[in-house]
Amino acid sequence: MQQAVDPAALAGWMDREGLGAGPLSEMRALAGGTQNILLRFRRGERDYVLRRPPPHLRANSNETMRREARVLGALAGTNVPHPRLIAACGDESVIGAAFYLMEPVEGFNATTGLPALHAGSESVRRRMGLALVEGIAALGALDYRALGLEGLGKTDDYLERQVARWKAQLASYAEFPDWEGPGGIPGVERVAGWLAANRPSTFLPGIIHGDYHLANVMYRFDSGELAAIVDWELTTIGDPLVDLGWVLATWPEGDPPSVDAVAVRPWQGFPTADELVAHYAPRTQRDLSSLTWYAVLACYKLGIILEGTHARASAGKAPRATGDLLHAKTVGLFERALRWIG
């Protein structure tokens, strides 16, 4: 934590921002994601959560923090459950990176285990699934221009750019020695070709989360409702149906859940994928007739992202066991996409 944050520097900045007084206490790391750092601490009578990039910054790490803070600030007062932004610091010199402070979220991540209420009730688990799609329905319904988010993403040719963007990403893994190449992924060219041939001709732009699934939301302890949508690092302005496609691509098929799914145990009671779509439909003005395309795109994009760790593991730059696990998820995602396109 000392590497991530200099408490004295942070306290000095908070003094200048009028955020409490006195020493920082009870500082501890929070789980959440694999890249960025979350620290919870107390100052005076108030608790804070600080979010910043990892100590070894990536090329876009600081800009990502600024974008996240911008979106969370814009969501204030909306019906989208999110961590409330307290203050943001885009000045990298304060603690060595851009960061922001937010209110702690009182809730839990379902993929790490269910409290007794949720574990003991199929009806509560069903509500959890329905609440999940309500979150992105509410997000996609917001007027991003009215919220001051115009320019957050490039909407021109948004859908047209997707396949080429991720095909290039996959090709870039060739730099890692001993990676077996795209030949280890079933149907990768066929899926890309299908996406290019069946792309929707138009879309209605809106805010997207970019990585929306069960592991990136927190639930209330007393119900199946969302406490907050978290991990906003891929947020942009694009086609909100991408978020619904992401849910479908990661949603378990059958019980026990498949290897490519983002699952909760016990799974009984959660809605089926068709029930999720039926619940989402009356909450959007968007045309769902091409929803299979969005789900297949999500399999393609997420599979390629996960394959990156496998490629790095092949070169000794990531744990071999992790690389093998994520490669299995990539294979599962592409097999799912192939089933969907027939």
Asked if residue 1 belongs to a domain, the reply is no
Residue 91 and residue 123 in one domain: no
Query: Which of 8, 12, 18, 102 shows the shortest CA–CA distance to 52?
Result: 102
> What residue numbers bound the domain in which 179 lies?
110-341
Residue 155 and residue 266 in one domain: yes
**pLDDT for 32:** 63
Q: What is the pTM of this model?
A: 0.93
Residue 77 and residue 116 in one domain: no
**pLDDT for 56:** 77
pLDDT band at 327 (very low <50, low <70, confident <90, very high): very high
Residue 55 and residue 169 in one domain: no
203 and 38 in contact (C-beta within 8 Å)?
A: no
Among 73, 102, 131, identify where a domain stops. Answer: 102
Q: Backbone phi, then psi, for 6, in 5-degree steps?
A: -90, 110
**CA separation for the pair 333, 329 (Å, rounded):** 6
Residue 239 and residue 310 in one domain: yes
**CA separation for the pair 329, 308 (Å, rounded):** 12
pLDDT tens by residue, 238-297? 999 999 999 999 999 876 777 678 889 999 999 999 999 999 999 999 999 999 999 999
Mean pLDDT of 222-237: 96
**pLDDT for 139:** 98
**pLDDT for 262:** 86
pLDDT band at 4 (very low <50, low <70, confident <90, very high): confident
Residue 32 and residue 168 in one domain: no
Among 102, 124, 150, identify where a domain stops. Answer: 102
pLDDT band at 106 (very low <50, low <70, confident <90, very high): very high
**pLDDT for 1:** 59
pLDDT tens by residue, 30-73? 876 557 899 999 999 999 999 999 887 878 899 999 999 999 99
Among 65, 80, 102, identify where a domain stops. Answer: 102
Query: Which of 302, 190, 288 shows the shortest CA–CA distance to 239?
Result: 288
Sign of the four-CA dihedral 68, 71, 76, 78: negative
> What CATH number did the domain enclosing 116 receive?
3.90.1200.10
Exposed e or buried b for every residue in 194-225, given b needs 16+ CB within 10 A?
A: bbeeeeeeebebbbbbbbbbbbbbbbbeeebb
Residue 308 and residue 165 in one domain: yes
Residue 92 and residue 116 in one domain: no
pLDDT tens by residue, 169-186? 999 999 999 999 999 999
**pLDDT for 33:** 57
Q: Are strands 99-102 and 46-52 parallel, antiparallel or unpaired?
A: antiparallel
Total number of domains in the chain: 2
115 and 55 in contact (C-beta within 8 Å)?
A: no
Asked if residue 2 belongs to a domain, the reply is no
Residue 85 and residue 153 in one domain: no
**pLDDT for 34:** 57
Residue 91 and residue 136 in one domain: no
Residue 238: which H helix or E strand, with range? strand 236-238
102 and 85 in contact (C-beta within 8 Å)?
A: yes
Asked if residue 120 belongs to a domain, the reply is yes
Residue 145 and residue 12 in one domain: no
> What CATH number did the domain enclosing 20 receive?
3.30.200.20
Residue 204 and residue 68 in one domain: no
**pLDDT for 57:** 81
